[in-house]
Structure 1
Amino acid sequence: MRFGSSKKTQLHARAIVVALAATASLAACSSGSSEGATTLDESEDVTITFWTGQADEAQTILEGLAADFEAENPNVTIDISSGAPSTDDLLQKLSASFAGGTYPDISYAYGSWASELADSGRTLDITDQVAEPDVKWDEFSEAARQTAQPTGEATIGFPAVVDNLALMYNKTVFDAAGVDYPTNDWTWDDFRKAAKELTDPSTNTYGYAYSVSGTEETTWQFWPHLWQNGGEILSEDGKTATFDSQSGVDALTFLQGMAVDDKSVYLDQTDTKFGELFASDRVGMMTSGPWQLYDLGVAGTDYGVVQLPGTDGDHQTVSGPDIWTLFDHKDANRSYWAFEFAEWLTAAEQDLKWNVAYGNLPLRSSEIDTPEFKEQVEALPGLDIMAANGENAKKARPTVSGYVNLSEAIGGAISEVLQGQGDPQTALTDAADKADEDLADN
């Protein structure tokens, strides 16, 4: 199974790990590790510890790339391992290693961990290095760059895996209803009209599907509506929830109209059934990401992909970037080679062998026109649309520790409203009040 196919599952697992481990463990870190080399010697033998957070084929690819780097730099040894039994276990493992001074030089990390890791006092600030023209930092999406710079100041790593949400449409359902396929110029009004026309109660066919589980699946599909309307999730200082603004109310009212008034939305309590119904020609449109493409190919679904419908030409999407976090051992040689390896690993030439070869979106915009990526698009149609859609990933989801409970609060509010159990203003205000309590505790 492609890494992308399991990506959605990992979005939900992040919340569990952060809630259980991050705040308490990182706050309890000890003061530091022993001093290493104070002066850089690029020819000195050095060992870099690299925790990949991967398994199986993904781990094998990264091991091969590490060996290639060692061959190019004979004085460097990459001590590579998964780091933990699963990616979800990595944060707890990192927390324990901080206390013992046994933390790695580089580790995979979910983007939602970024603030906790930055607050640990263990990360390496590479802001000056990534500003160098040769790094081509602007080839990464804005959301990916923001995630690697969680406090808005220190840059703690490189993007590792990127994704985003796009609109997928089932051509069989559209053809049966005689509705024109979506285009990249669609507005939300175009989208709502089509969803209503696609809905057929006699065959239990719905125009659209939306999660009402109250999980992050519910929440992150809402953020593009909020952002395109000019709203924000948090205040500028990150201490107050602002999703209950008029922009948020208007966005939720729009979705309420589709779900409650038009009855054109399949409301999924499970987070998984809507994909199955889309694949079997019972749902006309869904908002999803690259992990869905492999399963649709296996199912033989006739589908297309476009960027999200927009508001006043704004087609912002939401992304869930993960990062290669770099850590500081107070050793000039280790810091230098950790950066060199991370930069090399995320360069286009290597990323084509890693993310692109594995069926993920490319990290860099320069990879989109390569033969390697075009070959993957042949196998996973729509992957190119999602890669180009990275330009619409202009904002990162908050990485503040209170985001987990914030997501649960608004996810519950969205679910209630879409099921006809509340009004948007009251539901969002109550959710924001709950979120503010949790933000104040962090």
Structure 2
Amino acid sequence: MTATSLAVAGCGTDANGGGSSSTGSASSTIQIWEGYTDTEAKEFAHLVSEYEAQHPGQKVDTLFVNNDDTLQKVLTAVKGGSPPDIAYLYGSWAPNVAQIPQVVNLTQVVQKSGVNWNDFYVGERDVASVNGKVIGIPALVDNLAVVYNKKLFAKAGLALPTANWTWQDFANDAQKLTDSSVKQYGTAYVTPGTEDTVWHWESLLWEAGGSLLTADNKQAAFNSAAGLQSLQTLQTMAVTDKSMYLDPTDSAYGNLFNSGKIGMLVTGPWDLGSFPNVDYGVQVMPSYPGTSAGHQTISGPDNWVVFNNGSGQVSAAEQFLLWLTAPAQVKAFSLATGDLPTRQSVADASGFDTQMNKMLPGVSTFISNLGNVKQARPQIATYPQVSKVLGNMVVSVLLGKATPQAALASAASQVNAALAAGS
């Protein structure tokens, strides 16, 4: 009820927070491709209907497209001359999306009075921008933190994690939480070798003070002391202590955590609703003492992207997106779905985190953790090739097939070759 009333209350405002706007009041219909399901789909449909009610003559047609398939479908539609007006696209695709001629440059749009572009978190803005050009408006934001089982910590006689903990603390706790006799592990790591494998490691690299690539994105930079430290952390748990459950399915870990067989997970807010059987807590990622990097995390923001189907369509699409991503609608969507707010002003609003926690316990830590998103993955078209190499590197260490030193050296060589070929 709260979310619904907020959505209704928010729908009379335009991007400037003023009364309802009928800018470009000529009738128009825009088409949006989105991949929402369940609660998200219901709330998005509700917001669309409210927008149409507040903007007479403006129609929004939505088409469900599986998010994993959207880029390929968009490319096909562009070739056929029939792209949607707006599409929901993964942020990791941004460099490839930026190369599509029909993608609208939103740089001047987001600088309009009242949009408050800087209200979006820096991690979101970085992913929505390619070579200084804004190619999308943030549609979703998340991050990684540690979700832990309070009961298992108490059973092992361990103090609950604090915001000051280190990766050594994490490894020590993981070892003490492990009980091979009942197939209980201290922690887990996803090992399909995909980007999910990679981005969990990248946050450790950053916290150790390292960088993935050089500043010009021309060379690998991870074959460093920081790279070695980050991989050694994982090696200790996976190979030496055997306190880490390795999950090649990228899904089994959730059921194991929910059944009390894993003590801690590095995961995101999307998993919280999957743990009804666990009295869990959430804490920020550990840090490495002695570095200036401090506590960091990584985010995987997604974007709303506009395609050029003529000036009238573009104008109508921009108007809808600025309304949809204004604070009132961002707040309504988060309270209805549990998704993290894409705007800092919404996150900082009095009582907001309490409301979110009532719906999804512990999510407030993920909200505050957005402030620890200080870097983004390289915005280069060759990142998918880089990611594949890094995924194989991390898995080889976790499986004990390569030492961190050898894995780093081999991966750096392959990444340099991929970067050279792609330039």
Deviation at 1:330, TM superposition (A): 4.3
What CA distance in whole angstroms lies between the structure 1 residues aligned with 2:358 and 2:344? 18
Decide which moves more: 184-193 or 195-204: 195-204
Deviation at 1:56, TM superposition (A): 5.0
1:210 and 2:189 are equivalent in the alignment: yes
Partner residue of 1:95 out of 65, 69, 75: 75
1:236 and 2:215 are equivalent in the alignment: yes
1:275 and 2:254 are equivalent in the alignment: yes
1:375 and 2:352 are equivalent in the alignment: no
Tell me the amino acid that sits aligned with residue 384 of structure 1: S
Task: Summarize deviations over 1:278-322 as a string: whole Å, max 9, x none.
Answer: 22222211100111111102xx20110011011346111111111
Structure 2 residue runs without a partner (length 5+) = 1-22
Superposed, which structure 2 residues align to 1:171-250 within 5 Å?
Answer: 171-250=150-229
Matched residue SS, 1:164:
coil
Task: Summarize deviations over 1:165-201 as a string: whole Å, max 9, x none.
Answer: 0011111110011000001111212222222222233
Deviation at 1:107, TM superposition (A): 1.0
Matched residue SS, 2:137:
strand
Task: Summarize deviations over 1:87-145 as a string: whole Å, max 9, x none.
Answer: 22221221122122211221111112211111112111122232345212222221111
Decide which moves more: 366-375 or 100-109: 366-375
1:335 aligns with 314
What CA distance in whole angstroms lies between the structure 2 residues aligned with 1:266 and 1:243? 25
Contact kept in structure 1, 2:43 and 2:336, CA below 8 Å: no
- Structure-2-length-normalised TM-score: 0.87
Tell me the amino acid that sits aligned with residue 245 of structure 2: Y
1:147 aligns with 127
Tell me the amino acid that sits aligned with residue 58 of structure 1: E
What CA distance in whole angstroms lies between the structure 2 residues aligned with 1:93 and 1:433? 34
Partner residue of 2:345 out of 366, 370, 380: 366
Tell me the amino acid that sits aligned with residue 227 of structure 1: W
1:54 and 2:22 are equivalent in the alignment: no
Contact kept in structure 1, 2:191 and 2:248, CA below 8 Å: yes
1:308 and 2:285 are equivalent in the alignment: yes
Tell me the amino acid that sits aligned with residue 434 of structure 1: Q
Contact kept in structure 2, 1:124 and 1:327, CA below 8 Å: yes
Contact kept in structure 2, 1:142 and 1:393, CA below 8 Å: yes
Deviation at 1:68, TM superposition (A): 1.7
Deviation at 1:372, TM superposition (A): 6.4
1:385 and 2:341 are equivalent in the alignment: no
Task: Summarize deviations over 1:33-57 as a string: whole Å, max 9, x none.
Answer: xxxxxxxx83333332222233454
2:137 aligns with 158
Mark the CA change 1:342 to 1:270 in structure 2 (over 3 Å): closer, same or farther: same
Deviation at 1:225, TM superposition (A): 0.8
1:107 aligns with 87
Q: Aligned residues, how many?
A: 396
Partner residue of 1:74 out of 50, 56, 59: 56
Deviation at 1:261, TM superposition (A): 2.4
Task: Summarize deviations over 1:356-395 as a string: whole Å, max 9, x none.
Answer: 3122112122223465663342131111111111111122
What CA distance in whole angstroms lies between the structure 2 residues aligned with 1:276 and 1:43? 51
Contact kept in structure 2, 1:173 and 1:198, CA below 8 Å: yes
The share of aligned pairs that are identical, in percent, is 39
What CA distance in whole angstroms lies between the structure 1 residues aligned with 2:39 and 2:240? 47
What CA distance in whole angstroms lies between the structure 1 residues aligned with 2:103 and 2:374? 25
Contact kept in structure 1, 2:25 and 2:56, CA below 8 Å: no
What CA distance in whole angstroms lies between the structure 1 residues aligned with 2:95 and 2:251? 29
1:167 aligns with 146
Matched residue SS, 1:386:
helix
Tell me the amino acid that sits aligned with residue 79 of structure 1: D
Contact kept in structure 2, 1:213 and 1:271, CA below 8 Å: yes
Tell me the amino acid that sits aligned with residue 211 of structure 1: V
